[in-house]
Structures are given as structure tokens and as C-alpha cells.
Amino acid sequence: MSTDVELAKKEVEPEEQSFWPAAVNPFNSEYTQKAGEFLNNGLDGIVDFTKSGLSFGERFTLGLYNKITKWSRKWFTHVFLFLVIVVYCVLGALSFQAIEEPSAKVKFQELHDKQHKLFYDLFYMAKDKDLQNSNINDFIDKFLQTVGDNEDAMKSLANSKKRTKLQLDEYETPWTFWSSMFYCGTVFTTIGYGHIVPQTTLGRSLTIIYAIIGIPIFLILLADFGKVFTRGLKFFWAFARRLYNRGTCRKSKDANQSETFEIDDEFNLPISLASGMLILYILAGAMIYTCWEDWDYFEAFYFVFISMSTIGFGDYVPEHPIFMMCSILYLIFGLALTSMFINVVQIKLSKTFKNASSKLGTTIGLNMAKEASEAGSIKIEVPAVHNKSSLNDISEMTTPPPPVPQRTENVPDSSSPKEVRRKKRVVKK
């Protein structure tokens, strides 16, 4: 009876219909399996599907977009660090120019007045009749006194390249945008030529803060660019090795001929390759500076070496603003190359020291073992003061007592039955 009632209820009550259609029901086992496959496979095959109906220009644009996306993911860190240092240099140049420009105008006017005072003193000294009638020693004393009273004016005239009064009266600010950029570059690269320096307290304080922030950023850039140069040199080194060994530039498809030289960020290059690249970079830079500046080749080489070693005496400095900015870029890449060379040499020396220390430790250990074995075979001679009785007493004292016999009891044999039978056969024989 109860079963008939339940059947009647099922016929009366409608079946519960799901809110989701059967094709896209997320709780369906078949749908969840397909969703998992989609998540695992990603977008494989979608690009080819979209390319099938595109024209050549659209396919080219899509392929170029994919290439740029991969390139941006690979080179984002390097480009980002370079843009950070460029923006930091631009902001510093604008800040120093705004702070130091008013003070530079005031300094120029004061120095201009001192120069004119020197000219008037020399003019009246030349027209002094008493000085004209005196001897040469009096003239020298008067001239040295005049020069000593106008020392700043004499130094500025000696370092200036202006040769006429019109040029001398014309104001040229030392804090242009490009010269300020060059100054910022000399700060965070720690070269510090000293040809242009801040004169205000605010500018000097800003230089300290600018260096504290800029030097770590530049060191990070050097480390990153050093790895980039390492990968580039390894790529060309592997290319040259393939060309030399197999006469082809393509990679070998044979698994037995796989290359052992990996292109990575490790500084395990040959020292000859790293040093040759650095020397070639310096020689090429010196050649370029002979074309830019009025220097001979040795002076240009001297400037490049002093700059890339961050000594920065400041006796040779590029004068043209564009050449200043090119010098900053040249020195940034040069310092990165120098950093790579130092890392290569450091790793090579550390490996050499480890090998030497291990060999030295092995040699010392063998010698100590040999000495110990020789020391064990040496006979000890007893002095003559000891007689035989004393030696016998000593031998009796040092001789161990004889072992005490122990009582043996019948202990049940725990051998297996096979072992017992085998022992009985042996006894009977």
C-alpha cells in the first residue's frame, strides 16, 4: 500500500528542473572535465584558429605583437632600470639648474667686477711715472702685489678661453641643462670630475641626498647590465666555437654532440675574452674622443681610462654639451663592462684558490701521515742510568695479569636440528 502511495506522489509532483542548461551546467561531470582540460591547455590552438581567417597584413601585425610581447617580458627589467636612471638624471639636472642658476649669476657679476678692478690696477700701474723711472725689481714687486690683491680675477682669466672684452662681458651659465645632466652623471657614477660644483648650501645638501639614492640604483644597473653583457659574450663565444669546430653556425641536432657551453648569467667566461672585450671598448672610445675633442690619441685614452676606473681627475673633460651626454652613456656601458670583467676575474681567482687550498691540504695530510708512520717505527733508547732490575720491575708492573679462567656451564644448544645431526655425524667419523 505504501509503495502505491509513493508512486502516486512521484507522478503528481513534477521533476525538479535545474537552473543551468545541460550543455553548460557547471556541476555536470563532463563539463567540469572539459573545463579542467581548458585550464591545463590554456589558449593552445586559438591563435592558429584566429590566423586562419586573417589577411597577410593582419597576420603580420598579430605576429609582430606576439614578438614584441615576448621581447618586452624578456627585456623589461633591463629597459626599466635604464629608464629609471635616465629619469633620475633628468630630475636631478632640473633641480640643480633651478637651485644653482641664480647663485651662478651673482658669482659671475662679482667675478666680473674683480676682473675689471685688475685691469684698472694694471692700467694705472703702467702709467705710473715713478714706476717707469725705477728699476726692474721695483716693477716686479709692484706687479706681484697687484696680482696678489686680485688673485680670484687672475685665476678666472687664466682658466678662461675668452680673448676679447665683449666675450668677457658676455654671461655664460655653467648650469645649463646638459651640463647639469653631466654633473648628475658624475655624481651617481662616482667619477666626480670636479669641473662644475654647487656653490650653495642647498645644492651641496641635495648632492649628498642625490648620491645616497643614486649610487645604489646605479650599482643595480651595473649588475644587471653586466649579466646582459655576459649573456651576449657567451652567445658570440658559442657562435664562434660552433663555427670553428663544425664549420657551421647552426646548433647540432644530435644529442651526442650537445654543447656543454651554456648561455646563462654566470660569470664563467674566459678571462682572455672578457679582458679583450674591455680593452677593445677602451681603444674604440679613445678613437671616438680624438674625433670629438681637440685631443691626441694618448690624451683620449688617458681620459677614458681615468673615467672608467672612476678616478676622475677632471683635467680632461668634454666641452660640447652633446658630447657630455654621449660620454655619460659611453661610461655607463663601460662601467657595466668593467663590472663584468671584475666578476669574471674574481670567480676565476676564487676557483684557483680553492683548487690550490685543496691540493695543499691533501699534500700536508699525506706528509703528516708519512711523518706519523715514520715516528711509529722509531726505537726508543733507554738511558744507561736504569739497571736491569729496575727495568724488570717496570716490565712486571706494566705486564697485564694472566686471564682468569671462567667456569663453563652446560648451556643448552640453540642450534637447529639439522645442525645437531651434522655435528653427530662428524663426531662418529
Pick the most confident of 10-24, 28-42, 75-89, 408-422: 75-89
Other beta carbons within 10 angstroms of residue 146's beta carbon come to 16
Other beta carbons within 10 angstroms of residue 90's beta carbon come to 14
- What's the confidence (pLDDT) of residue 271? 86
CA–CA distance, 317 with 331 (Å, rounded to integer): 13
Q: Which of 114-118, 131-135, 294-298, 405-409 is predicted with the least confidence, judged by mean pLDDT?
A: 405-409
- What's the confidence (pLDDT) of residue 411? 46
The pTM of the full predicted model, rounded to 2 decimals, is 0.64
359-409 per-position pLDDT tens digit: 887 777 666 656 666 655 545 454 554 454 544 554 455 455 555 555 544
More confident residue, 127 or 216: 216
Q: Is the pLDDT of residue 57 over 90?
A: no
Kindly tell me the sign of the dihedral angle through the C-alpha atoms of 68, 72, 73, 75: positive
More confident residue, 416 or 73: 73
- What's the confidence (pLDDT) of residue 281? 95
Q: Which of 18-27, 134-143, 218-227 is predicted with the least confidence, judged by mean pLDDT?
A: 18-27
- What's the confidence (pLDDT) of residue 185? 93
By percentage, how much of the chain surpasses pLDDT 90?
24
CA–CA distance, 342 with 219 (Å, rounded to integer): 14
Q: Is the pLDDT of residue 178 over 70?
A: yes
232-285 per-position pLDDT tens digit: 888 777 777 777 776 666 665 555 555 555 666 677 788 888 899 999 999 999
Phi, psi of 152 (to 5 degrees): -65, -40
Element (H, E) at 366: helix 321-376
More confident residue, 349 or 163: 349
Other beta carbons within 10 angstroms of residue 188's beta carbon come to 24
- What's the confidence (pLDDT) of residue 189? 93
- What's the confidence (pLDDT) of residue 43? 47
Quick one: average pLDDT of 172-180?
Answer: 90
Residue whose C-alpha cell is 655607463: 332
- What's the confidence (pLDDT) of residue 380? 47
Of 271, 91, 273, residue with least CA distance to 184: 91
Q: Is the pLDDT of residue 319 over 90?
A: no
- What's the confidence (pLDDT) of residue 4? 54
Report all structural domains of the chain as residue ranges with CATH numbers, in order of start.
2-41 (no CATH), 77-249+263-354 (1.10.287.70)
139-149 per-position pLDDT tens digit: 888 888 888 88
Quick one: average pLDDT of 220-230?
Answer: 86
